[in-house]
Amino acid sequence: MQIGKEVVLEIGGKRAVSKLVGWKLKKRKGFLFFEPPQAKNGVVTPLPGEEVTVNLGTGGSVFGLSAVYIEPLKHTGLLLFATEDETVISSLLAMERFSCFLPVQVTDVETGVRLGEGMVFDIGLGGIAFYSTERLDIPAHNAIKVSFHIGEMGHIDSQLVKVSRIKATAGKFEYYGSFVELNKPGEEIVLAYLEFCRKWLTN
């Protein structure tokens, strides 16, 4: 579910082209924001509560998902849809990230030797970003293990992370990485934190 991606909406037997311009998660429901769908004969607008099919292309194949039209958004003309399709929810969860401030310990994958410590400042189901005041000796294969607490929600212990980017800023180094096979307990801990952030931001 890439922002700006062109999709085909099937509305009442008609096919119209639109773009995904935004999304929001609320528990296990996804809300998608689309530009007004354009067909050959002009804009096609579904009726409130009407179910439409969103056709997405990925990896050379096309698959359809069901979404229900809610309403047009004031002042923007964008259309709001809701979906509980598991493929979409999983995709949105993987992209969703929130800020945090969590002390982290970093160790070598093979030896378990401590490489350093830092602070996680961004987290999602897909991975984390953390900074350290020192340049860590990241192995050539870019794999490390991280351990950190997420408050009372639980402890992520020796989780494998693949570092994809290192950014040097004033007085610190930022490390961006993805989780490698995050286990179920760890996934539940991260999901609990994401849900907490959603509630806190929307209340």
Q: Where are the domains of the chain?
A: 6-95, 97-202
Decide if pLDDT at 1 tops 60.
no
Decide if pLDDT at 138 tops 60.
yes
Give the CATH class of 97-202: mainly beta
Please choose, from the candidates 184, 7, 163, 181, the residue with its C-alpha nearest in 3D space to the C-alpha of residue 88. 7
The structure's pTM equals: 0.63
Q: Which of 77-81, 86-90, 124-128 has the highest mean pLDDT?
A: 124-128
Alpha carbon dihedral 66, 72, 78, 79, in 10-degree steps, equals 0
Check residue 102 and give its pLDDT. Answer: 93
Q: What are phi and psi of 100, to 5 degrees?
A: -155, 180
CATH assignment, 6-95: 2.40.10
User: How far, in Å, CA of 134 to CA of 142, rounded?
Assistant: 17
CB of 19 closer than 8 Å to CB of 35: yes
CB of 117 closer than 8 Å to CB of 172: no
Contacts 24+ apart (CB under 8 A), 176-180: 176/127, 176/129, 177/127, 177/128, 177/129, 177/142, 177/144, 178/126, 178/127, 179/125, 179/126, 179/127, 179/128, 180/143
Q: What percent of the chain has pLDDT over 90?
A: 31
> For 66-85, what is the mean pLDDT?
81
Check residue 61 and give its pLDDT. Answer: 45
